[in-house]
Amino acid sequence: MAVWDLSVTVEDLGPDSAPVKISVTSDLHIGGVVYKLVEQTNLKKDWSDHALWWEQKQQWLLKTSWTLEKCGVHADARLIFTPQHKLLRVLNIRHPEELSLLQPVEEKKKKKEQDSSEELYDLTQVPISAGSVQLLTNGIPAHFTDSPKNEAVYKMLSISLPSPTPESIVKLYRPASVVDKTHLHTRWLDSSRSLMQQGIQENDKLWLRFKYYTFHDMDPKYDGVRMTQLYEQARWAILLEDIDCTEEEMMLCGALQYHIGKLSMDQDKVSPCQGMDDLEMALKSLEVKMEGESNSTDILDNMTAPELNGYLKIFRPKRLTLKGYKQYWCKFQDTSISYYKNKEDCYGEPIQQLNLKGCEVAPEVNVGAQKFCIKLLIPAPEGMNEIYLRCEDEKQYSRWMAGCKLASKCLTLLDSSYESEVKNIQTFLSMQRCNSSASTAQTDDTINTQSLVSPRYQKKYKPKQLTPRILEAYQNVAQLSLTSAILKFLQIWQALPDFGISYFMVRFKGSRKDEVLGIANNRLIRIDLGVGDVVKTWRYNNMRQWNVNWDIRQVAIEFDGNINIAFSCVNADCKVVHEYIGGYIFMSTRSIQQNETLNEELFHKLTGGHDAL
């Protein structure tokens, strides 16, 4: 058999070294190629982690018994002999299954604009804690305390960054529509494939982000880094308008950012355990639970759930109609709202009963204008019925809004989280009230308010108009500790209508137009691309099975009630959508009672698709 030369780049010889040429035949197996390379380099070291990487094919040649001919390798192949595992600078964060790696959005830079110098922190010397329970030393995880350098790394990770300048916010990429948001989520890396298989090289920059919005077992005592990184992700989502919020919510978020920034600057006074008191309620509402989880005991299940009764104004928007709100006597029981013409009729048949299981719930609130409305999108055979409930005051709104939220998750007013949900809503509303005692001692120069709001409000208001608004909101949060302020910011983020939804452009089977699929922690959402309205929702707890036809790249899902849907992805690989659905199903299997050891086999089985098999 003919002998020919094969050129292989050996990384350990240095970046400037020429490729190593070895004489081979087509029937030489991969293991023989590796043996010849090691002999020719004449380097004495452990080569056990090294393998051949085929650059053109973006794949590893790991089957050492296969011949070059069987692998399809010819003389023009560009092969690299390199370690399979390399250092990746990530953080030792609890519940890493909630995170993933994302390719950053390419920023347009002017020719004259030079890259700003970044302060780099080397995490390679930080030891990883061996056990699932972290040991603390003076409130810091013990594995960060073995040197001043590692303590500095911990401070960098666990303390919020200063507020960005308004100019830097404007320069960053902001999605202008739901279509733009679909492009962002196409950039997630495949968790089943290696980085090099996905074109990632050494010194490439990746974003580490929370991909799954199910923050399990959040504990400020151990999760300082996790909370701070989550806060940074939430803050930038609001500043870059990745998620919509009202003007009052933006001012409150700005006030919390200002407060968190002030406390973070004084690093000597900040204790990692500060604000540990009275956090049980906050943590309970912070954790986003999967549908169907309930803490109710058998005794509670046999009890009769409490009712909510009262006059509400109801509005059902229809095209070509000018009819507004009309008052009805409403009764909230179990997971349904029944409404009657008046209180005296409540013992008869209702005008209509609204079943809230699986509905979409969104606030329509303006505290200053005393507007307290609840927007409901209720599943129906023909799509989603839109209904607005207008409450009389904050107290009534808080109780009905909490009930609607629980009912959408198939939980009743008897659930143990109901009262805490009411309290959190009331606290949130109180923070948005104008405080007449707001300090006027501070001037425009003492607070850069435009760095605390999104570009939309930077354009709408001048600094002298923004400052009093944010300082008014600040008076309602000024007494919070750093930990409590971060938790409160995360709660506000979670309460926003579009929280936790990842968008993808898809084409449903049988349809001739592109639509948007929203993937949340407990449901799938079909969105009309033309008007942005929710067309239909499907809950995971009604899902019987899902599978992917990898040949035609189509996702098919079967739900209870003989409901079947199928779609193909337009601007993303269907593997990304499959991984999202499988990931959320996996998250629902976690419980605080379980051992903290991650079931990696189950995770990859649910998210890996054909790669996992």
CATH for 502-608 is 2.30.29.30
Q: How confident is the model at residue 608 (pLDDT cuts 50, 70, 90)?
A: confident
Rounded to the nearest angstrom, the gap between the alpha carbon of residue 152 and the centroid of all alpha carbons in its chain is 27
Fold topology of 308-413 = PH-domain like (2.30.29)
Whether the pLDDT of residue 561 is over 80: the answer is: yes
Give me the sign of the Cα torsion angle 530, 532, 536, 538.
Answer: positive
Task: Return the structure tokens found at 333.
Answer: 């029981």
pLDDT digits 0-9 by tens, 102-156 = 998 876 554 444 444 566 666 666 665 554 556 666 667 666 777 777 777 777 7
Q: How confident is the model at residue 380 (pLDDT cuts 50, 70, 90)?
A: confident
Q: For the chain, what percent of residues have pLDDT higher than 90?
A: 38
Q: What is the DSSP letter of 560?
A: T
Model's pTM, two decimal places? 0.74
Q: How far apart are CA 439 and CA 456, in angstroms?
A: 26
Q: How far apart are CA 47 and CA 33, in angstroms?
A: 13
Residue 31 · residue 65 · CB < 8 Å: yes
Across the range 162-178, mean pLDDT stands at 84
Residue 316 · residue 322 · CB < 8 Å: no
Q: What is the CA radius of gyration of the chain?
A: 28
Whether the pLDDT of residue 74 is over 50: the answer is: yes
Across the range 258-281, mean pLDDT stands at 60
Fold match between 308-413 and 502-608? yes
Residue for token pair 């055979």: 381
Q: How far apart are CA 266 and CA 117, in angstroms?
A: 24
Q: How many CB atoms lie within 10 A of CB 248?
A: 20
Q: How far apart are CA 170 and CA 508, in angstroms?
A: 36
**Helical axes 418-431 vs 394-408, angle rounded to 10°:** 130
Residue 390 · residue 313 · CB < 8 Å: yes
Q: How confident is the model at residue 610 (pLDDT cuts 50, 70, 90)?
A: low
How is the chain split into domains, by residue range? 3-83, 308-413, 502-608
Across the range 188-213, mean pLDDT stands at 87
Across the range 377-391, mean pLDDT stands at 86
pLDDT digits 0-9 by tens, 17-37 = 899 999 999 999 999 999 999
Q: How confident is the model at residue 307 (pLDDT cuts 50, 70, 90)?
A: confident
The more confident residue out of 417 and 274 is 417
Residue for token pair 């499988």: 582
pLDDT digits 0-9 by tens, 415-470 = 888 999 999 899 888 888 765 554 443 444 567 888 899 999 989 988 888 999 89
Q: How far apart are CA 7 and CA 56, in angstroms?
A: 14
Nearest to 455 by CA among 210, 241, 216: 241
pLDDT of 526 reads: 93
Lowest mean pLDDT among 156-170, 227-241, 447-461: 156-170
CATH for 3-83 is 3.10.20.90
Q: What is the DSSP letter of 592?
A: T
Q: How confident is the model at residue 91 (pLDDT cuts 50, 70, 90)?
A: low
